[in-house]
Amino acid sequence: AAEPKTLPDYVRWKNANDVIVHSANTIETERGAIGSGVVTDSDKLYVRNNLPAPNADIVADRDAWKVTFEGVNGPQSLTLGDLKKIGVETVTTVLQCSGNGRAYYQHGPGGTQWGTGAAGCLIWTGVPLREVVAKLGGVKPGMNYITSTGGESLPAGLDPKTIMVERSIPLKALDQALLAWDMNDEPMPLAHGGPLRMVVPGYFGVNNVKYVDRVAFTEGQSDAKIQASGYRIRPIGEKGAPDQPSMWEMPVKSWVTAPLTTASQGKNLVYGVAFGGMNAVSKVEVSADGGETWKTARFLGPDMGRYAWRPFVVSMDLSAGDHRIVSRATDTEGNTQPPTRTENERGYGNTSWKDHGVTVTVS
Ligand code: MSS
C-alpha cells in the first residue's frame, strides 16, 4: 500500500488513522471510521477547501471578526461579538460535499475521488440568520437569494471572480440558515470555517461558506465562477452554465460502514448511516444479495433532528462466499434512494444505492 500522506499543518490535530489525505486541501474520512455514534468527531471530519485555508491569525481574536450585511433595510457591519448578543440556537446537520461519491462515476470526472467520506454529522451553534435580519430591519424588497462570501485573501493577478468562494442560495433557506461559531461544542476550527461559518441545514457542503465576511441579500445569484458555472448538474461533455441545476438541497442517501471487506459465517451486525437531506430519514433497508431481498434496519442513538443523519444497524445471516451488501434509505416524503446515479460531467450528487454497496467475503 502507498505511504499515507502526512497531514498539513492547519489540520495536524486530525487523527491520521481515520482520514485519507488526497491533497493539502482535500482530506476524506475513512469509510470505517464513522462508527456507530451520531456525531462525527472533529478530528476525523473531512476537509474540502477550494483555496488554501486562511492564516490562523483570523482565529486569534474571534469576537473581533467582522461581517458585512447587505440587501437589508439597515445594512451594517457586525462583529462576531455583536452576533453572539442577537440570538443563539443549536442544530445538528449533515455536511456533505457535492462531489461525495464521485469515485463511483465511470466517465472519469476530474476532481477529488471521494468515496463515502466527504460527509459528516456535526452539531453547530450560532445565531439564526433570520434573527440577524430582523435586527437589521428585514430583507429589502425584491431580493431572491442569500449570497455569502468566504474571507480568504485572494492571490494577486487573477480575476477574483474566477477563484473566490461566494455562494448564493434561495431566500427560503432563511428559515434554517445559521451563522455558526461553534462546531461540536468547541470554537469553530479554522479548517472548518472559524471564526464564523454560514451553515445551511439540508444543503450541500459548498453552500456552507467558511470564514464568512459578507452576507448579502441579492436579486440574482453571484456571478462568481463557483456559483455561475461551478457546482451544477450538467450533461457529460457540456460546459457549466447558470441555467443548470445548482448543488443546493441534498436528497436522501445512506451507506454501509461495517463490515466492509470480510465477515464470518452466520449472524453479522451490518452498520451504516442514513439521512434525508432536506427531510428527515424515515426508513433504511439493507440487502446482502445486491438488492434482491431487503431487511429493514433499526436506527441507533438519539434522533438529532430533521437535518442530522441516523446511524442504523441490522442483523444479517451471512453464508460463505461473496456478498454484495447495499443499503437504501427513504425520507419522510417517501423519496427513496435510486439504484443508479444521475450521470453528470462533474460527478456530483451521487446517491445510487448500487454504487455505494460493498462486496464482503464471508468465510
Ligand atoms: N468556504 C470557503 N470559504 N472556502 C471553501 O473552499 N469549500 C466548500 C465549503 N465552504 C469552501 C467553503 C466546500 S465545496 C465544502 S464541501 C465544504 O466547505 C467543506 O467543509 P469542511 O468543513 O468539511 O472542510 Mo464541496 O460541495
Q: Would the pLDDT of 88 be above 80?
A: yes
* Structure confidence at residue 3 as a pLDDT band (50, 70, 90): low
| Backbone dihedral angles phi then psi of residue 42, each to the nearest 5 degrees | -55, -35
Note whether residue 58 is domain-resident.
Answer: yes
Same-domain pairing of 208 and 264: no
Q: Is residue 352 part of a domain?
A: yes
pLDDT tens track for 143-158: 999 999 999 999 899 9
Q: How far is CA 83 from CA 57, 133, 158, 178, in A?
A: 20, 11, 33, 11
Q: Are residues 62 and 146 in the same domain?
A: yes
pLDDT in tens, 4-21: 679 999 999 999 999 999
User: Residue 163 C-alpha to ligand 1 middle, in angstroms?
Assistant: 13
The verdict on 210 and 268 lying in the same domain is no
29 and 161 inside one domain: yes
- How many CB atoms sit inside 10 A of residue 108's CB? 9
| 178 and 284 together in one domain | no
**Does residue 240 belong to any structural domain of this protein?**
no
Please indicate, yes or no, whether residues 145 and 267 belong to a single structural domain of this protein. Answer: no
Same domain, 147 and 16: yes
Report the nearest-CA residue for atom 13 of ligand 1: 206
Percent with pLDDT over 90 in the chain: 98
Q: Which atom of ligand 1 is nearest to the CA of 247?
A: 26
143 and 207: one domain?
Answer: yes
Question: Same structural domain for residues 79 and 188?
Answer: yes
In a domain, 195, yes or no: yes
Q: Are residues 220 and 358 in the same domain?
A: no
The per-residue pLDDT for 1 is 47
Query: What domain range is 263 assigned to?
Result: 253-362
Residue 241 corresponds to which amino acid?
A
Q: Per-residue pLDDT tens for 32-68?
A: 999 999 999 999 999 999 999 999 999 999 999 999 9
State the Cα–Cα distance between residues 282 and 280, nearest whole angstrom.
6
* Average confidence score pLDDT of the chain: 97
- The residue to mutate among 208, 231, 249, having the most atoms of ligand 1 within 8 angstroms of its beta carbon, is 208
Total structural domains within the chain: 2
- Shortest CA distance to 99 belongs to which of 169, 48, 153, 35? 48
CATH number, domain containing residue 308: 2.60.40.650
DSSP state of 139: B
Residues 293 and 159 in one domain: no
What is the domain-level CATH number for residue 25? Answer: 3.90.420.10
User: How far does residue 88's CA lie from ligand 1's centre (Å)?
Assistant: 23
Q: What is the pLDDT of residues 209-254, one digit of tens each?
A: 999 999 999 999 999 999 999 999 999 999 999 999 999 999 999 9
pLDDT digits (tens, 9 = 90+) for 130-185: 999 999 999 999 999 999 999 999 989 999 999 999 999 999 999 999 999 999 99
Q: Is 326 in the pocket of ligand 1 (CB under 6 A)?
A: no
